[in-house]
A and B are shown apart, each in its own frame.
Chain A
Amino acid sequence: MKYLQGEYPIIHKQALAKDVYSFVILCPEIAQLACPGQFVHILPKGFGLRRPISIAGIDKQAGTLRIVFIIKRQGTQTIAGLNQGDYLDMIGPLGHGFTLLPEAQHVILVGGGIGVPPMLPLAAYYGEKATAVSGFRTFQQVILQEDLETCKARTICCTEDGSAGAVKGFVTTPLEQLLSEGADAVFACGPIPMLKAVAEVCMRNQTYCEVSLEERMACGVGACLGCACKIKKDHQEEFLHVCKNGPVFKAEEVCW
């Protein structure tokens, strides 16, 4: 694996929802190597630790990556303050991404909130073979539905309060329905309770499932062992690391 670090220009910035921003970054070397499910590690100016942000779009021809992120605290606030033409100090591409299944006939992409962005590169790969189930609390938080449709994925939008989308409630309701119709795999990213519920539904339906995890991170490359997550392999639980072994893991191996 080769890691690249540099300062790369933001060539497009867009506000998608309250506190949610989309950047397109010109970084041909990183874009060339990037795969769905990987992340970039961005240094907000003046901070000591980088912020891991998932890749939401890969355009190898244009040499660009897209990221979509939400302002959580000061670090992401600082990054969101950057504008088109500004440079981002970035390491990437990092981590182990989603498994790509060229033979698959139907895959389900489940994104919750700010877990929806990493589903986009998968939608681009699977196209009309993908059904993207996205969950949000309310209509103001709905993002990226048109982008998923542009990839030819079928979209099912859920809101907890029913203020937008076809489904009122959680992503697991349409997921159960879709799985009963048959799917080769489920790929998911979002809050832990959602991922846990998705993993359980997939387990019950005996469908292969991969989830993308998040953890407080320092180095981003697997050296410091900070971003530990408990994974079960060969009946043994051990701490693996989100940055290097993940962020994508087989759902059945995650110790929730």
Chain B
Amino acid sequence: MADLSVNICGIDFKNPIIPASGVFGYGREYEEFYSLSELGGIATKGTTRTKRTGNSAPRIAETPAGMLNSVGLQNPGIDYFIQHELPNLMTKNTVILANIAGSTPEECAEVARKLDATDVHMIELNISCPNVKQGGAAFGTSCQMAEQVTAAVRKAAKKPLIVKLSPNVTSITEIAKSVEAAGADAVSLINTLLGMRIDIHTRRPVLRNNVGGLSGAGIFPVAVRMVWQTANAVNIPVIGMGGVTSGEDAIELMMAGASAVQVGMAVFTDPYAPVKIIRQMNDFLDENKISSVREIIGTVQPW
């Protein structure tokens, strides 16, 4: 049995696997399948200052080796989250990463300030949602905006701050360096890639929002590349995600430089994916006589 524990920004994770924000709600549904304490952590559904209703349906389209989504940050708002969801999550013996989003730096800061007064372990600031008109990806695709919103949230909260980055940029390393300079304690990447499908019979986009975020196994190589580039560009921890479906994928992302790994679409294919991935990581480490998962972080030897 290998040691799977990792430490990110002073927070201990029993293992590096975290269901990604948006696929896992606030944990209640998946608790009907297995104990949430098996997970390294949970990134909760992106939550905003006030309730958001989200986009019209269809919000989902399947793609080869992946899917598009345009949920549009539907959530009950931060006050509801803190009052009705967070207390339950805090009893689950796993690290809680509260994912937040907003239309303006001030809105993000206000949400972060409210969370700072709770027991939540970490804040994950989403500057990369492709499915909302204001904020979202607009923050994540400009160094200046990314820096501004990160600085505002940094000022509002002392909790460890992870900034979740968009892959829809020319240089992910420039954005990563900007948020590091603005006070981020870690970065997580990649959010979804912007995509589109058209129904050729109706000539209408499949998604009601026309475009949406691409996730799933098909984007994994992009994730590996961006995690590797980012880990080499910043001095803060990188949490990797994007199309991870197996323990081998998670090991690969950690070798690229990730200190922990989030699992997204794989949860839809198999609700047990996160716990299976943890088991498979342990098997890989045991078979290769590696005593701790920490030993593999960033150990890729580039040509």
Residues of A participating in the B interface, judged by any CB pair closer than 8 Å:
1-3, 5, 43, 47-50, 75, 91, 215-230, 238-239, 244
B71 at the interface (CB under 8 A from A): yes
Selecting from B22-30, B174-182, B280-288, the interface stretch reads B22-30
| In the bound complex, CA of A222 to CA of B65 (Å) | 22
User: When the two chains form their complex, are residues B60 and A218 in contact, meaning their CB atoms are under 8 A apart?
Assistant: yes
A216: contacting residue among B25, B60, B272, CB under 8 A: B60
User: When the two chains form their complex, are residues A217 and B60 in contact, meaning their CB atoms are under 8 A apart?
Assistant: yes
Chain A residues near B53: list those with CB within 8 A: 238-239
B71: contacting residue among A47, A49, A225, CB under 8 A: A225
Chain B residues near A244: list those with CB within 8 A: 29
B59 at the interface (CB under 8 A from A): yes
Q: Is the interface of A mostly helix, strand, loop or mixed?
A: loop
A228: contacting residue among B32, B57, B269, B270, CB under 8 A: B57
Given contacts A3-B32, A219-B23, contact A226 B60 (CB under 8 A): yes
Chain B residues near A229: list those with CB within 8 A: 57
B67 at the interface (CB under 8 A from A): yes
User: When the two chains form their complex, are residues B60 and A50 in contact, meaning their CB atoms are under 8 A apart?
Assistant: no
User: When the two chains form their complex, are residues A216 and B61 in contact, meaning their CB atoms are under 8 A apart?
Assistant: yes
| In the bound complex, CA of A239 to CA of B51 (Å) | 12
How many B residues touch A, CB cutoff 8 Å?
34
User: When the two chains form their complex, are residues A224 and B54 in contact, meaning their CB atoms are under 8 A apart?
Assistant: no
Given contacts A2-B32, A5-B33, A219-B23, contact A224 B268 (CB under 8 A): yes
User: When the two chains form their complex, are residues B25 and A48 in contact, meaning their CB atoms are under 8 A apart?
Assistant: no
| In the bound complex, CA of A215 to CA of B54 (Å) | 15
A224: contacting residue among B55, B57, B71, B272, CB under 8 A: B71
User: When the two chains form their complex, are residues B59 and A216 in contact, meaning their CB atoms are under 8 A apart?
Assistant: yes
Chain B residues near A50: list those with CB within 8 A: 268-269
User: When the two chains form their complex, are residues B271 and A3 in contact, meaning their CB atoms are under 8 A apart?
Assistant: yes
| In the bound complex, CA of A221 to CA of B272 (Å) | 13
B29: contacting residue among A43, A221, A238, CB under 8 A: A221
Which of B30, B71, B271 has the most chain A CB atoms closer than 10 A to its own CB?
Answer: B271
User: When the two chains form their complex, are residues B269 and A224 in contact, meaning their CB atoms are under 8 A apart?
Assistant: no
B298 at the interface (CB under 8 A from A): no
For A229, the closest partner residue in chain B by CB is B57
B87 at the interface (CB under 8 A from A): no
For A46, the closest partner residue in chain B by CB is B65
B292 at the interface (CB under 8 A from A): no
User: When the two chains form their complex, are residues A228 and B74 in contact, meaning their CB atoms are under 8 A apart?
Assistant: yes
For B30, the closest partner residue in chain A by CB is A223
Contact residues of B between 141 and 168, Cβ < 8 Å to A: none
User: When the two chains form their complex, are residues B272 and A47 in contact, meaning their CB atoms are under 8 A apart?
Assistant: no
Contact residues of B between 15 and 68, Cβ < 8 Å to A: 22-25, 29-30, 32-33, 45, 53-62, 65-67
- B183-216 vs A, CB cutoff 8 Å, 1 = contact: the mask equals 0000000000000000000000000000000001
Chain A residues near B29: list those with CB within 8 A: 3, 219, 221-223, 244
Chain B residues near A228: list those with CB within 8 A: 54-57, 59, 71, 74
Chain B residues near A215: list those with CB within 8 A: 57-58
What's the minimum C-beta distance from B138 to chain A, rounded to whole angstroms? Answer: 22
